[in-house]
Amino acid sequence: MNSLPSSKPAPAVRTSDVCRYYPMGGGIIRAVDGISLTIERGEFVALLGQSGSGKSTLLNLLAGLDRPSSGSVMVQGRDLAKMSSEELAAYRRNDVGMVFQAFHLIPSMTITENVELPMRFAEVDRAERGERVRESLEQVGLGKRLEHRPSELSGGEQQRVSLARALANRPSLLLADEPTGNLDSRTGEDILNLIRDLSLSLGMTVVMVTHERALAERFAQRLVFLADGKLLSQEAVA
Amino acid sequence: MKGYDLFELAVRNLRQSKLRNGLTTVGISVGVASLVAMLSLGVGLQQLATRRLAGSGMFDTVFVTSKQDFRGFDREDDQKTEHPENAPVLDEPARGAMTHLQYVTEVEPEIRVMGEVVSGGQTHFGFVTGLPMSARENEAFDNLQGKFFSGPSAEEVILLNDFAKEIDPKDPKGLIGQEVTLRYGERQALAPDSESAGRPQLSGGAVGGSNPTSGDDFGFSVVRKTQKLKVVGIIEEEPYGGMRTVSRGRIFLPVDLTEKLNMAQFTDMRSSLRGGGGKTYMTLTVRVKDPAKVAQVQDAINKMGFRTFSVLDATKSLRRFFTVLDLFLGIFGSLALAVATLAIINTLVMAVLERRREIGVMKAIGASDGDVKRLFFAEAGAMGFFGGLLGIALGFAIGKAINVGTGIYLHRHQLPAEAVWILPPWLIGAAIAFSIVVSLLAGLYPASRAAKLDPVQTLKYE
Ligand SMILES: Nc1ncnc2c1ncn2[C@@H]1O[C@H](COP(=O)(O)OP(=O)(O)OP(=O)(O)O)[C@@H](O)[C@H]1O
Ligand SMILES: [Mg+2]
pLDDT tens digit sequence for B10-53: 999 999 889 999 999 999 999 999 888 888 888 888 888 777 77
Terminal alpha carbon distance of chain B: 29
CA distance A162 to A105: 7
Domain that holds residue A134: 43-64+89-224
Answer yes or no: is pLDDT of A92 > 70.
Answer: yes
- Ligand nearest the Cα of residue A47 is 1
The residues in A 9-38 lying below 8 A from B, measured between CB atoms, are none
B209 and B84 part of one domain:
yes
Residue A33 predicted with pLDDT over 70: yes
Q: Is residue A232 part of a domain?
A: no
- Listed residues B310, B331, B363: the one ending a domain: B310
Q: Is the pTM of this model over 0.80?
A: no
Surface-to-core class of residue B313, CB atoms within 10 Å of its CB (0-12 exposed, 13-18 middle, 19+ buried): exposed
Question: Whole-angstrom Cα distance, residue A75 to residue A82?
Answer: 12
Are residues B72 and B170 both part of a single domain? yes
* Spatial distance between the Cα atoms of B12 and B354, rounded to a whole number of angstroms: 15
Rounded CA separation B242/B110 (Å): 12
- Residues A231, A38: Cα–Cα separation, whole Å: 12
Considering the domain architecture, whether residues B46 and B187 belong to the same structural domain is answered as: no
Rounded distance between C-alpha atoms, residue B261 and residue B130, angstroms: 11
Q: Identify the CATH number of the domain in which residue A126 sits.
A: 3.40.50.300
- A114 pLDDT exceeds 80? yes
Domain boundary among B268, B286, B310: B310
CA within 13 Å, CB half, B386: 18
pLDDT of residue B203: 41
What local confidence, expressed as pLDDT, does residue A10 receive?
82
The predicted model gives A153-160 an average pLDDT of: 94
Q: What is the pLDDT of residue B201?
A: 44
Task: Confirm or reject: Cβ of A24 under 6 Å from ligand 1.
Answer: yes
Residues B262 and B338 in one domain: no
H or E element in which residue B44 lies: helix B18-55
Are B10 and B94 members of one domain?
A: no
* Rounded Cα gap, residues B159 and A71, in angstroms: 103
- Give dist(CA B109, CA B131) in Å, integer: 9
In terms of domains, do B269 and B379 share one?
no
Residue A229 lies in a domain: no
Grouping H, G, I as helix, E, B as strand and the rest as coil, residue A14 is: strand
DSSP string, B68-88: TSSTTS-HHHHHH-S-GGGSP
Residues of B in contact with A93 (CB under 8 A): 365-367
Number of domains observed in the structure of chain A: 1
Q: Give residue A83's pLDDT band: very low, low, confident or very high (50, 70, 90).
A: very high
A100 touching B (Cβ < 8 Å): yes
CB contact under 8 A, A121 and B361: no
Whether ligand 1 lies within 6 angstroms of the CB of A150 is answered as: no
Q: DSSP assignment of B381-431, as one string?
A: HHHHHHHHHHHHHHHHHHHHHHHHHHHHHHHHTT----------HHHHHHH
For A:117-146, CB contacts with B below 8 A are: 117-118, 120-123
- Residue A208 falls inside a structural domain: yes
Length of chain A: 238
Residue A78 maps to a domain: no
Task: List the single residue in B12, B367, B459 with the smallest CB-CB distance to A100.
Answer: B459
- pLDDT tens per residue across span A191-222: 999 999 999 999 999 999 998 899 999 999 99
Q: Give the torsion sign (CA, A152, A153, A154, A159).
A: negative
Ligand 1 atom with minimal separation from the A20 CA: 12
Boundaries of domain holding B334:
3-54+317-459
Residue B274 φ then ψ, to 5°: -65, -35
Domain match, B242 and B341 both: no
B178: nearest Cα among B123, B232, B130: B232
Specify the pLDDT at position B48: 80
Q: What is the number of domains present in chain B?
A: 2
User: Ligand 1 atom 13: the closest Cα is on which residue?
Assistant: A31
> Which residues of chain A are within 8 Å of residue B5 when distances are taken between CB atoms?
120, 123
Q: Are residues B245 and B341 in the same domain?
A: no
Q: Which of B17, B365, B460, B461 to mutate to test the interface with A (most CBs of A within 10 A)?
A: B365
Same domain membership, residue B372 and residue B263: no
Mean pLDDT for chain A overall: 92
Q: What backbone phi and psi angles, to 5 degrees, belong to A113?
A: -65, -35
User: Which amino acid is located at B127 in the chain?
Assistant: F
Are B135 and B80 in the same domain? yes
* Higher-scoring residue by pLDDT: A164, B224: A164
- pLDDT bucket at A144, cuts 50 / 70 / 90: confident
- Whether residue A238 is contained in a domain is answered as no
The residue ranges of chain B whose pLDDT is under 70 are 54-58, 69-85, 190-219, 240-248, 266-279, 312-315, 461-462
Residue B170 shares a structural domain with residue B202 = yes
Strands A13-24 and A70-75: what pairing?
Answer: antiparallel
Q: Which residues from B are below 8 Å from A120, CB to CB?
A: 1-2, 5, 9
B246 by DSSP, 3-state: which? coil
Specify the pLDDT at position B334. Answer: 83
A85 touches chain B (CB under 8 A): yes
Contacts 24+ apart (CB under 8 A), A70-74: A70/A17, A70/A18, A70/A19, A71/A15, A71/A16, A71/A17, A71/A18, A71/A19, A71/A34, A71/A35, A72/A15, A72/A16, A72/A17, A72/A18, A73/A13, A73/A14, A73/A15, A73/A18, A74/A10, A74/A11, A74/A13, A74/A14, A74/A15, A74/A16
Q: Would residue A138 count as lying in a domain?
A: yes
Closest residue (by CA) to atom 10 of ligand 1? Answer: A31
**Per-residue 3-state assignment (H helix, E strand, C coil) for A27-84:** EEEEEEEEEEEEECCCCEEEEEECCCCCHHHHHHHHHCCCCCCEEEEEECCEEHHHCC
Q: Final residue of a domain: which of B276, B310, B344?
A: B310
Side chain identity at B120, as an amino acid letter? G
Q: Are A233 and A57 in contact (CB under 8 A)?
A: no
Compute the Cα dihedral for B54, B56, B57, B62 and give only its sign: negative
Is residue A216 assigned to a domain? yes
**Across the interface, do B361 and A90 touch by the CB < 8 Å criterion?**
no
Give the confidence band of A103 by pLDDT, cuts at 50, 70, 90: very high
Cα(B361) to centroid(ligand 1), Å: 19
Residues B228 and B299 placed together within one structural domain of the fold: yes
Taking the centre of ligand 1 as the mean of its atom positions, its distance from the CA of residue B78, in whole angstroms, is 96
Q: Going by C-beta distance under 8 Å and a sequence separation of 6 or more, which residues neighbour residue B413?
A: none
Q: Are strands B145-146 and B220-235 parallel, antiparallel or unpaired?
A: antiparallel
Helix, coil or strand: residue B27: helix
A175 belongs to a structural domain: yes
Residue B290: its pLDDT value, please? Answer: 76
Q: Which residues of B409-446 are buried (b: 16+ CB within 10 A; e: fewer)?
A: eeeeeeeeebebbbbeeebbeebbebbbebbbebbeeb
Q: Mean pLDDT in chain B?
A: 81
Residue B387 near residue B433, CB atoms below 8 Å: no
Chain B hits for A92, Cβ within 8 Å? 363-366
